[in-house]
Amino acid sequence: MHGITVIELYVFVLAAFVGYQVIARVPPLLHTPLMSATNAISAISLVGSLVAAGADYGTVSTVLGTLAVTAATINVVGGFMITDRMLRMFKREQKGRR
């Protein structure tokens, strides 16, 4: 098992800080797409699941890994698609419509 370094803590704290700053600028108008977008992004845990499912660590890891791959893929595919579906609906007023 790899060793946890102080660098990783730095990465976590700085990422959380940047995240907070960036997300504070998201208007309430887009809070629902924001939630599904961050949900899709955090489904990057897929990469951990891929290793568990494909690295031949034994049956238990393969089974748990495959389930994890399925769950994470649902979020990656579904999360990005629904976010895009929602964002497509947000339109500016078109002058002279109808």
Partner 1 sequence: MREMFTQGAYLAASVTFILGLRGLSSPATARRGMFFAEVGMLLAVVGTLIQHEIVRYEWIAIGMVIGSIIGALMAILMPMTAVPQRTAISHMFGALAATLVGVSEFYRHGNGAEIPHVQMAALGFEVMFGSLTITGSFMAFGKLQGFIRSAPMTYRFQNQSNITLFFVTLGLFAFLIFQPASPAVFYAMTALGLVIGVLIVMPIGGADMPVVMSLLNSYAGLAASATGFVIGNNVLIIAGALDGASGFLLSILMSRAMNRSFTNVLFGAFGSAPQAELALKAATDKAVRSISGEDAAIQLGYARSVVVIPGYGMAVAQAQHQVRELADEIEKRGGEVKFAVHPVAGRMPGHMNVLLAEANVPYDKLKDMEEINGEFERTDVALVIGANDVVNPAARHDRSSPIYGMPILNADQAKSVIVLKRSMNPGFAGIENELFYSPKTFMLFGDAKKSLSALINEVRQLE
Interacting positions 22-61 with partner 1 (CB under 8 A): 22-58, 60-61
**CB 45 within 8 Å of CB 64:** no
Comparing CA positions, the residue from 75, 72, 51 lying closest to residue 62 is 51
> Least distance from C-beta 13 to partner 1, angstroms?
8
> Least distance from C-beta 8 to partner 1, angstroms?
6
Comparing CA positions, the residue from 72, 73, 53, 56 lying closest to residue 64 is 53
96 binds partner 1 (CB under 8 A): no
